[in-house]
Every structure is written in C-alpha cells, then in structure tokens.
Amino acid sequence: MREVLEASVQEALKSGARYAEARISKIFSNRIEVRRGRVERVVPSIELAGSVRALVRTWGFSSTTRPDEEQMLEAARRAARAAKALSSLPGREVGLAEVPAVEDEVEMGEVVDPRAIPIDEKLEIVLACDEAARSVDARVVMTDFRYEDQVIVRAFSNSEGTYVREACPFTHLRMAITAREGGNVQTVTGRLSAAAGQELMAYGDPVGMAERLAKRAVELLSARKAPSGKTRVLVDNTISGLLALCVGVMASAELASMPGSELGLFHGKLGQQVASELVNITDDPLAEGLTVAMTYDDEGVRARPVKIVEEGILRNYLHSRPTAFLMGQEPNGRARASSALLTPMPLSTNTVMEPGDRTVEELLEELGDGLYVVGLVGATIGGMVHCDCEAAYRVEKGQIKEAYRSVSLTFDLLKDLKKVEAVGSDFDIVSLRLSSGEASYQVCGGGPHVLFSELTVG
C-alpha cells in the first residue's frame, strides 16, 4: 500500500502539481437487519477506494474503486490535470497550514476483531435481541434492529514526506421498538455504539437493553401527549449529547466560513459568548470508549482534543489544513472523509459537553415545576434543531408526577444554550450518522443532564 501511495504522489508532482497527497481506504464491514423476527439483510462487504488530490493554485481530485498501482497512477495524472485546468480560472489560491511530516502506523489495539467472528454468530445475537423485545408484551408490534461492524483501514501519503496508516474498529447496534394499542403508537430507540470490536456486544448487554426498551414502549402507551409551549426543562444525556454534537458540527471551519448557510451559525463568533458560562464543550477523537477513534485525520495531521466552547465562549473551530491557513490558525486534525472516494472536510468527531457538579436528584429539585425530557429518537439539524423524544415527565416541586409520550423540542441554539441553568455530574453518549449528499459520517455527542430555564416544547 505504501509503495502505491508514494508512487501516486510522485506521479502527480511529475504531472505538474506543487503538492500532492494520496489516500487508500479499505472498509471491512458486516450489516445485519432484523425486523419482527425476520432477517431482512445480512451483508458482509469490503469497500476499496483510493484517491489523489493535487494542488497547483487550487485542487484537482480523482478517485478510483480499484486502488491498484495502475489505477492510482492514472488518478494522479487526472488529479494534476484537473488542478492545472481549474487553477487557470480566477479564484483564491489554496494554501496549506504547515504541519510536521510524520511516519506512523496505528493498529487497533486490544479489541475482539469483528473479522474474526463468523457472521452467523453476530446474527444470533441480533435475533436474540429481537426475540427478547417481542416476548415482553403482545402490544410490541414492530422491532427493528440494525447491526453494523467495521474495520476501517486508512492509509495516507503526501509530497511532504508524511506516511500514516491507521486501522480502527467500529461496532453499532441500533434498536427501534414500537408498541401499539388501538390507534396509539409509541416508538422508543436505543443504540450501542463504540469504536470497539465485538466485546461491545458482550459488555453492552444488548439483550437486556432490548427488553428494557420494549417495556418502556409498552409503559408509554398509557401516557398522555405532552402539552406544548415554553417551560423549564431538564434534558437527559441523549439530548444534551445531541446539542454538543450540533455545536461540534457547526464548529467546522468550513461551515463557519459560510455566513449565509443554515449551519454557519458560528461565523465570526470566535471569542464571543455563545452559551451559558456553565457550558464547556470539547471535541476529542482520542477519548476511549466513544464512537470515533482517529489518531490522524485524512490529511495526515495528528488529531488532538479541541476545546470548542469554554465557559460559554467560542474558542476554536475545527480545521483542515486549508481552513487553518485561511484563518491563520493552527490545524487540529479534523479533516475527515467517509472514504477515500471523497475529499476530506473539517468535521467533528466525539463532541462532549463536560459534566458539572449536580446529581440528577439535585437538578430535579432545581427544576421545581417543569418537564423532564428523555430519550432522543431522532433529530433534524439546521438553523434550528428539532428533536423528537420518547417521553417527558411532569415535575412538580421537584417530584416526578406523570409521564407524557412523544415529545418534541425545538432549539434555537444560539439563544437556548445561554439558558443553561445547571449541569449534571453524570455522563452518557449518543451516536449518530450525519448524512450530506453522498457523504455519511459517524459522529458522537455526549453530555450530562442539563437544566434549561426555558425551552419550546411540542
């Protein structure tokens, strides 16, 4: 692999580029889908991809699904030709922030390699989860389990002498369980997800999770619909994790440089108050036990934790080398591409809101009268963030009184993050797939329970 990458880089330089980089990715994956006891899909696959990016005044890019030497050299020539052609048009010259050259190979570490486990054993686990959920109650009418494991091998080389190769595992099980009684339908979801191997399925207790979710769906059938309006709200980790994730997405320097865009909320706001001073948000691809594990990004830059928000103030964007150069800042290793077929762009990894000092009981007491909302089901992220949640509890004088089902929350991020009154000392994560066009990225958000003075419900 190294020889092919280095030869491709040299070919791009010979073809007229002033800088070149080559990437190869190999993704070994298994996908299993089970619905209502039926196996809908069992797909093992290996995806190969390679690409070359060449720089003259601006970029040229070419990719291939057959990254052998012949195809990669051809991709190098095409990328250089494209770079020369595009560089003759008017436009800004692309610069790259300086980084030291590095040579490194990063292996997976002590994990149970998913490639070593037969797919029928993985299927048995998913079927056991499905059966456990359906056995809870006859009112459980739909179960949807989606399992995926991957081993992602990425290799990168550039004309500055950098060569890195990194292998990462990823295992994910998403469950959605629906209970119905007459016209009343309630869906709850759960996820087990980590940059880990098969050991996640052992220690994560997926069967136990499936049973608990099914019981919760049935319990919520007897709950009323939540009233809508503005009220004091305590949110759980899945929702605060989503908010942290949104901050991470919008901290992308590329998005932040688009003032007209829905996601460009952080444009021009470095150094400004964007949240309550109780809010601290960090993006960290090196944190253990979370969903994304990345020592080097897809430009060969060593990744490091980045404090995005510190005591409510926006401190840093997430950069690729071009965006760091453009803004006169240090690159921080966030250039990501979901495969070598795509060009990298600055993107978050594991973005977490740091825990504070209150227990959940103390937060309920501080909430006084309001709503306690739990269980992110899904969300749309734009200028406003809309999230659908499993349930909410009416809280009166700090005591949980009544459950409501199917609650939605709407966040105006720049306003609502300033309404954080207290931050819990607990922590949990939510793992989501962000899709934009052809690209699809795994990201992770994490956080504690958070108390808001006012949010829009319904």
Specify the 3-state DSSP secondary structure of 365: helix
Residue with smaller CB distance to other proteins, 124 or 357 = 124
Find the helix or strand (DSSP H, E) in which 38 lies: strand 38-55
Cα distance between residue 275 and residue 71, in whole Å: 49
Name the minimum Å distance from CB 195 to other proteins: 17
Cα distance between residue 67 and residue 63, in whole Å: 8
Extract the tokens encoding 162. 């950098």
Binding residue for other proteins (CB under 8 A) from 169, 206, 333, 370? Answer: 206
List phi, psi (to 5°) of 342: -120, 155
Residue with smaller CB distance to other proteins, 199 or 454 = 199
To the nearest 10°, report the CA torsion of 245, 250, 379, 372. 60
Asked whether position 408 contacts other proteins by CB under 8 A, the answer is no
Name the minimum Å distance from CB 207 to other proteins: 6
Which ranges of 374-451 does DSSP label H, i.e. alpha helix?
A: 413-416
Residue with smaller CB distance to other proteins, 43 or 202 = 202
Binding residue for other proteins (CB under 8 A) from 86, 106, 112, 119? Answer: 112
Residue with smaller CB distance to other proteins, 156 or 170 = 170
Closest CA to 290 of 377, 191, 146, 364: 191
Asked whether position 207 contacts other proteins by CB under 8 A, the answer is yes
Name the minimum Å distance from CB 205 to other proteins: 8
Asked whether position 199 contacts other proteins by CB under 8 A, the answer is yes
Name the minimum Å distance from CB 234 to other proteins: 24
Asked whether position 107 contacts other proteins by CB under 8 A, the answer is no
Name the minimum Å distance from CB 136 to other proteins: 14
Q: How far is CA 113 from CA 279, 389, 431, in A?
A: 37, 34, 21
Taking CB under 8 A as the binding criterion, the range among 48-56, 118-126, 321-329, 363-371 that sits at the site for other proteins is 118-126
Binding residue for other proteins (CB under 8 A) from 94, 102, 117, 185? Answer: 117
Q: How far is CA 270 from CA 98, 281, 306, 310, in A?
A: 22, 14, 14, 11
Asked whether position 202 contacts other proteins by CB under 8 A, the answer is yes
List phi, psi (to 5°) of 437: 65, -130
Report the interface residues with other proteins, using CB under 8 A.
112, 117, 121, 124-125, 128, 198-199, 201-202, 205-207
